[in-house]
Chains A and B, each alone.
Chain A
Amino acid sequence: MTNLSPFDIQARPNRLLAQALSCVLFVVCIGLYMHTSVERHKENAEDRVVPSGHQLVAGIRSAVLEPAEEDDYIPAESASTWERLRHSMIWKDTASSGGRFFISLALLIPFVVLAVHIGLFPWFGAGFLRFFLFFDKIVALSLLPILFIAFGIDQWSKIALIVIGVAPTMILDVTQMVKAVPQEQIVKAFTLDANNFDVAYRVVFRQVLPQVINSLRLNLKPMMLFLFAGEMIAASDGLAYRIAIMRRHMGMDVILPYVLWVALLLFLIDFSLRVINRRLHPWFQA
């Protein structure tokens, strides 16, 4: 008889049961949703707060196949499915949000490099560390009006918001990683005639890179959060822009698919970073 007590640390759940258990909460959530939706639709057939499966399918269809309202309408007959997809609302929004996301991701690279310097070179540490410790505690969102002055209301203020929001945390995190590299490694590298930049980039940076990628994985969600905040405040396209607009008339039938789509995208980015990390750094075990 298997031990089924949930409060037994030494329990050895059998595989099948454990798998089944891991699905339970998903099923409960879906069930709860469907129940609420059915109840609400019994009372009000046009309820939009908890859209029914029907409404959701219609919402997904319009998001995936129909162009955004501000764009030109493409008649269903004259275009292939692929073309309709290419000009669809969700494609357009994903492309513009994705652009912002990846530009900010690229802009984080110099900050990671700076962090390696801060952790390794005493003069850099003296100059920057305290500032970033302080800056990290600033709530980036509250700086928005300043960002608007400096970067305008287009693309760059949103990107700046993400970078300002995430970079200090990344810098402090990476600085810690660099400082955790054993002193022996650095001394050894110098005895092998490495110069300062060899030590910084070919010894320390290489060693912390997998941890940096892991830290980035943890920061994906804050990045998305900042992107959403930016897009909800001022934008003319983007995933969060659409959600903000849809909220105006309770278009939950479109909002819910969008939310799930964003979750899926984040999961995929995270997953691919994990795979890349494992491929690139077979020696890294954590």
Chain B
Amino acid sequence: MQSKRLGTFSLLCSLALLVGFSDAATASAQAPTFTVGWSVYAGWNPYFYMQKSGILKKWADKYGIAIKVQRFDYAASLDSFVAKNIDACAMTNMEALDMPAAAGVDSTAIIVGDYSNGNDAVLVRDNLTFQTLPSKPVMLVQKTVSEYLLERGMVLNGQQAQLGKLHLINTSDSDIVAAFLNNKSNEAVVTWKPLVSQIVADKSVHSIFDSSKIPGEIMDLMVVRSEVLNTPNGQKFARALTGAWYETIQQVAAGQANALKYSAAASGDSVESYKEQLKTTALFVSPKSAVDFTDGPEVQQKMDLVRLFCFKHGLLGQGIHSVDDVAIAYPNGTVQGNKARVRLRFNSAYMQAAEQGKL
């Protein structure tokens, strides 16, 4: 009798733990409710406005589903997406490859929202150049587009051989501005806007390389889990989200006061500062421009550079022995890598539908 009670108790404990693990996943699969995660970035802030203005609800209602939008820290949003707690997430092409895709979560990019056109920059003090950079410590968030940008900068400046000599200091983005500016002995930093603007406010710091020199290589995507997309409700979700997105982004691009106000407020920036960030963000305002870019040959070249970078840095995981093991499929049917192991898909169908007004 007594021992039975004890048994029940431990059973309850384990049940509680199990439920904690699995409830989020099951709940989203059963109800026609979908969750979108996003984090603070010039190209993603409009999601905040999209929700606040009711545009999202309008589109969701049209398709008879519910869509929730949740703001995360960037890393946390990726973790949640990989753990299947959310159905769609805003991320860069690089993270789409090395987080969900490399972790075996088949993902599809349904919106190519923009590419960084100067948002990310390599900043230095004292006339440092790529030739003299390798001997100095460089502060950056390692294994992100910042490191990618730095390497591309080195390569494009003929310093490929020096890559191994870079001394990188992994610095959290929340402290990188203070840490860099407060000590004159820190001579180089790689980061993104609005942090870049805060750092270059110091006159002794200037940019020697930024993402406008590698246009289209750092893309910002809306990624949906392929298994969600393959259900009828999931397709409704993708259509609703795409429709809402283009309505939103066109208002932002047209400079509508509320759209700008809310988008700026999403990251706590002033409207001025947000406009400045948009200048270095190449937004695909019309669905057509996005479709043209996604369907074009350039994307494959850019993705090739990115996937080689990821593989070289072990971002595809310990178990991946070839860069082709995390393959990428493009709208025209070509596959980069092993055809049996497609993990990341670019799908322009929804953007096309938006272009044709069929949403």
Chain A positions within 8 Å of B, measured between CB atoms, are 3-6, 24, 28, 31-32, 35-36, 44-49, 55, 58-59, 62, 69-70, 144-145, 148-149, 152-153, 232-236, 241, 244-245, 247-251, 253-254
Query: Could you jot down 15 A-B contacts, CB within 8 Å?
Result: A4-B3, A6-B5, A24-B10, A28-B13, A36-B21, A46-B317, A49-B103, A148-B175, A152-B183, A233-B174, A234-B139, A236-B169, A248-B144, A253-B319, A254-B318
Contacting pair B183 A149 (CB below 8 A): yes
Please provide the 8 A-B residue pairs with the shortest distance between their CB atoms, ordered closest to farther.
A46-B104, A4-B2, A145-B178, A149-B182, A248-B143, A48-B103, A234-B171, A249-B315
Contacting pair B170 A235 (CB below 8 A): yes
**Bound form: Cα–Cα A236–B318 in Å:** 21
**Closest Cβ neighbor of A144 among chain B residues:** B175
CB distance from B105 to the nearest CB of A (A): 6
Contacting pair B143 A49 (CB below 8 A): no
Chain B positions within 8 Å of A, measured between CB atoms, are 2-3, 5-6, 9-10, 13-14, 17-18, 21, 75, 79, 82-83, 98-99, 102-105, 137, 139, 142-144, 167-172, 174-176, 178-179, 182-183, 185-186, 313-319
**Bound form: Cα–Cα A48–B98 in Å:** 11
A145-B182, A248-B144 known, 17 other contacts, Cβ within 8 Å:
A6-B9, A28-B13, A36-B21, A44-B105, A47-B104, A49-B103, A145-B178, A145-B179, A148-B183, A152-B183, A153-B183, A234-B176, A248-B75, A248-B142, A248-B315, A250-B317, A253-B317
CB distance from A30 to the nearest CB of B (A): 12
- With A6-B6, A48-B104, A236-B170 as contacts: A59 and B318 at CB distance below 8 Å: yes
Most buried by A among B142, B144, B314, B317: B317
**Bound form: Cα–Cα A245–B169 in Å:** 11
Contacts of A153 on B, CB cut-off 8 Å?
A: 139, 169, 171, 179, 183, 186
**Closest Cβ neighbor of A31 among chain B residues:** B14
Contacts of A24 on B, CB cut-off 8 Å?
A: 10
Residue from the list A4, A28, A44, A58 in contact with B104, Cβ < 8 A: A44
Contacts of A253 on B, CB cut-off 8 Å?
A: 317-319
**Closest Cβ neighbor of A54 among chain B residues:** B319
**Bound form: Cα–Cα A234–B172 in Å:** 6
CB distance from B13 to the nearest CB of A (A): 7
- With A234-B169, A250-B82 as contacts: A245 and B10 at CB distance below 8 Å: no
Contacting pair B6 A233 (CB below 8 A): no
Most buried by B among A35, A62, A70, A250: A250
Contacting pair A4 B169 (CB below 8 A): no
- With A4-B2, A48-B104, A232-B172 as contacts: A249 and B182 at CB distance below 8 Å: no
